[in-house]
Amino acid sequence: MAEKTLGIGLVGTKFMGRAHSNAWMTAPRFFDLPREVLMRAVAGRDVADVAAFSRRWGWQCCTDDWRDLLDDPQVGLVDVCTPNHVHAEVSIAALEAGRHVACEKPLAGTIADARAMRDAARKAARRGVRTFVWFNYRRCPAVALAHQLVKEGRLGRIFHVRASYLQDWGGPSTPLLWRFQGKLAGSGAHGDLNAHIIDMARFVTGEEVTEVVGALEETFVKERDLVEASGGAISGKGAKRATRGRRKAKSTVDDAVLFLARMSGGAVASFEATRLATGNQNRNTLEVNGEKGSLRFDFERMNELSWWDHALPARLRGWSVIMCTDAAHPYAGNYWPAAHVLGYEHGFVSQAADIAMALGRRKPVVPIPDFADAFEVQRVLEAAIRCARTRRPVSVADIR
């Protein structure tokens, strides 16, 4: 028997905590959901902060100990928005406590953590407990449409995948946020950004990455200013504006990771993630070239999907820029009329809706990744790093 209410317990109050709060608040307004979303409780590290956050976003209660969420019978799903190194502990405890878990990407900071999470999810699944991972870009209507077009066979055999996620907030003047600390983040641009485009490439093409043939890991900025003690340690991207001390310390993550790969269907692929591509603020791009057609996506123009239909006569072929905001496009009909464009946050809103759908025994518009699915991404991340460090090709099959 499906419960009527879906009580959410959120862990984390920074960038993703905000995005998810907005998603849980908004999803029921735009979607007809089989379960009523209850914004039950939020957990954060700082008492005052979490209280203010809770008031602002309308959570019913708050705590500075995430374990309290597991004692609350009204919490049916734990939503994990912490730094990466805490994903495993929170998620596994929640699963063991019989709660569904929706975890931010990447699944974990290390392959060991990710493996433990996948195993815990497998065990929990036997008791009907579900897992979800917030690869939010899948629910960008243009990306979801790309997935559908490939699935319909419109691209034919795929030759090339070209994916990049370029940001530029990691220049020399950015201080040593948690995202630059290996112990907390696991990796730098790699886990943060390559995770997204590996998932997108898999999702859109329906193929797996089978081998990382070559890879390159680089930390351009070796040392960074320390963030001053006061609360800045876990601070997200906005923290560029944090006050900075004069002392410096070593950055222990990559600034950029590039790799070349082979896909299960025979395509070749390139992936690139960086935080130092000046002028590229959030340029998450994917290109897929097939025998019958091609696709291009650039998140900075996220409402648009470019499609090349090679079946047309040469005289009429062109890159068709589809504004994916029509009622006929995935998710778009739930929001506004055509070309009344959507933004970044709508991917989260749509995923919150789809999670509620899934937990109400309805089919999400496009598949939601679970821990097992996200573990596949983690394997590729791991293969890429091993390749970069050993300077040898690495088969993804060897990462378990």
Q: Which of residues 121-150 bind a copy of itself (CB under 8 A)?
A: 145
**Partners of 288 in the β-ladder:** 161, 295
Distance of closest approach, residue 264 Cβ to a copy of itself, in angstroms? 15
Tell me the three-class secondary structure of the chain, residue by residue. Answer: CCCCEEEEEEECCCHHHHHHHHHHHHHHHHCCCCCEEEEEEEECCCHHHHHHHHHHHCCCEEECCCHHHHHCCCCCEEEECCCHHHHHHHHHHHHHCCCEEEEECCCCCCHHHHHHHHHHHHHHHCCCCCEEEECHHHHCHHHHHHHHHHHCCCCCCEEEEEEEEECCCCCCCCCCCHHHCHHHHCCCHHHHHHHHHHHHHHHHHCCCEEEEEEEEEECCCCEEEEECCCCCCCCCHHHHHCCEEEEEEECCCCCEEEEEEEECCCCEEEEEEECCCCCCCCEEEEEEEECCEEEEEEHHHCCEEEEEECCCCHHHCCEEEEECCCCCCCCHHHCCCCCCCCCCCHHHHHHHHHHHHHHCCCCCCCCCCCHHHHHHHHHHHHHHHHHHHHCCCEEHHHCC
Distance of closest approach, residue 86 Cβ to a copy of itself, in angstroms? 21
Could you say which residues in the range 6-25 bind a copy of itself, by CB under 8 A? 15, 19, 21-22, 25
Q: CB nearer to a copy of itself: give 92 or 394.
A: 394
Distance in Å from the first CA to the final CA of the chain: 36
Contact indicator for 120, 91 with CB cutoff of 8 Å: yes
- Selected from 162, 249, 252, 360, the binder of a copy of itself by CB under 8 A is 162
Site string for a copy of itself, 253-272 (x = CB under 8 A): --xx-xxx-x---x-x-x-x
Distance of closest approach, residue 310 Cβ to a copy of itself, in angstroms? 5
Q: Binding of a copy of itself at residue 164 (CB under 8 A)?
A: yes
Q: Binding of a copy of itself at residue 277 (CB under 8 A)?
A: yes
Q: Binding of a copy of itself at residue 389 (CB under 8 A)?
A: no
Q: Binding of a copy of itself at residue 3 (CB under 8 A)?
A: no
- 396 is written with which tokens? 């993804």
Question: Which one of 2-10, 81-89, 120-128, 329-337 is the stretch in contact with a copy of itself (CB under 8 A)?
Answer: 329-337
Q: Binding of a copy of itself at residue 247 (CB under 8 A)?
A: no
Distance of closest approach, residue 311 Cβ to a copy of itself, in angstroms? 11
Q: CB nearer to a copy of itself: give 98 or 172.
A: 172
Distance of closest approach, residue 245 Cβ to a copy of itself, in angstroms? 22
Q: CB nearer to a copy of itself: give 91 or 235.
A: 235
Q: Binding of a copy of itself at residue 276 (CB under 8 A)?
A: yes
Could you say which residues in the range 202-221 bind a copy of itself, by CB under 8 A? 213-216, 218, 220
Q: Binding of a copy of itself at residue 311 (CB under 8 A)?
A: no
The phi, psi pair for 76, rounded to 5°, reads -100, -25
Q: CB nearer to a copy of itself: give 67 or 214.
A: 214
Number of residues this chain uses to bind a copy of itself (CB under 8 A):
97
Q: Binding of a copy of itself at residue 44 (CB under 8 A)?
A: no
- 178 is written with which tokens? 């948690």
Could you say which residues in the range 62-91 bind a copy of itself, by CB under 8 A? none
Question: Which one of 122-130, 335-343, 355-363, 367-375 is the stretch in contact with a copy of itself (CB under 8 A)?
Answer: 335-343
Q: CB nearer to a copy of itself: give 4 or 29.
A: 29
Q: Binding of a copy of itself at residue 380 (CB under 8 A)?
A: no
Q: Binding of a copy of itself at residue 174 (CB under 8 A)?
A: no
Distance of closest approach, residue 131 Cβ to a copy of itself, in angstroms? 25
**CA dihedral over 353, 354, 355, 359, signed as positive or negative:** positive
Contact indicator for 40, 75 with CB cutoff of 8 Å: yes
Distance of closest approach, residue 127 Cβ to a copy of itself, in angstroms? 33
- Selected from 59, 132, 134, 307, the binder of a copy of itself by CB under 8 A is 307
- Selected from 206, 392, 395, 397, the binder of a copy of itself by CB under 8 A is 392
Site string for a copy of itself, 337-356 (x = CB under 8 A): xxxxxxxxxx----------
Rounded to an integer, what distance in angstroms lies between the CA atom of residue 91 and that of residue 126? 16
